[in-house]
Chain A
Amino acid sequence: NAGVTQTPKFRVLKTGQSMTLLCAQDMNHEYMYWYRQDPGMGLRLIHYSVGEGTTAKGEVPDGYNVSRLKKQNFLLGLESAAPSQTSVYFCASRSNREGQGALGRANVLTFGAGSRLTVL
């Protein structure tokens, strides 16, 4: 059971180039998220999806596009990379099943290992 897998793990781009980050989960989760993490800025939500074929903007969506054509995959695209998009990108997913109430367990986020992107 792989959980959440991100590819590639590392990538260097030149300004203006395009690329796609792939997130794949094998847990049949409905919800998927893309975050970026910058030093001192914590985790900021870029886009998210509540199901196959649906996407929504997060806190910092500009310069990114996403697609969720298959339930298990959530793609993050950069059409024209900029140095400001140098960051570590994390994908996460969680279920939409009702959590176990007072037992304290809920549909926790499962994260991928991250993709480090450098834009020169």
Chain B
Amino acid sequence: QQQVKQSPQSLIVQKGGISIINCAYENTAFDYFPWYQQFPGKGPALLIAIRPDVSEKKEGRFTISFNKSAKQFSLHIMDSQPGDSATYFCAPYRDNAGNMLTFGGGTRLMVKP
């Protein structure tokens, strides 16, 4: 069974600081590494994702760093804002494959003004 471990469970950051969330996985067949963002009362939505052929991807203040040999990837939020306060999930999977798709346990981020 696929295992995905996410850390930390919760994170408090001051406005303007850097938020870092980590995800470790076991299945080396994964070929897509997304982070989902969920606001209270809403379903999760894709935030940013990376393929294993690159080590880093940046979209605005959000960056994914990928370490294939360590089977880990992380989300970095630069200049964190109160509006970034949400729960973040990693959910690596095999694209174009119909199998179980499991999520990390989630990280609740609070950005203090």
Q: How many chain-A residues does the 8 Å CB contact rule pick out?
A: 34
> Is A62's CB within 8 Å of the partner chain B?
no
> Is A45's CB within 8 Å of the partner chain B?
yes
B10's closest neighbor in chain A, by CB?
A40
A102-B53, A108-B49 given as contacts; is B95 within 8 A of A113 (CB)?
Answer: no
Contacts of B106 in A (CB 8 A): 42-43
> Is A77's CB within 8 Å of the partner chain B?
no
Complex CA gap A91/B101 in Å reads 12
Counting contact residues on chain B (CB < 8 A from A), the size range is: 20 to 34
When the two chains form their complex, are residues A99 and B32 in contact, meaning their CB atoms are under 8 A apart?
yes
A50-B98, A90-B43 given as contacts; is B103 within 8 A of A104 (CB)?
Answer: no
Contacts of A113 in B (CB 8 A): 42-43
Complex CA gap A99/B86 in Å reads 27
When the two chains form their complex, are residues B105 and A41 in contact, meaning their CB atoms are under 8 A apart?
yes
Interface residues of A in 77-120 (CB under 8 A from B): 90, 92, 96-99, 101-102, 104, 106-109, 111-114
When the two chains form their complex, are residues A48 and B95 in contact, meaning their CB atoms are under 8 A apart?
no
Complex CA gap A58/B46 in Å reads 21
Complex CA gap A104/B50 in Å reads 6
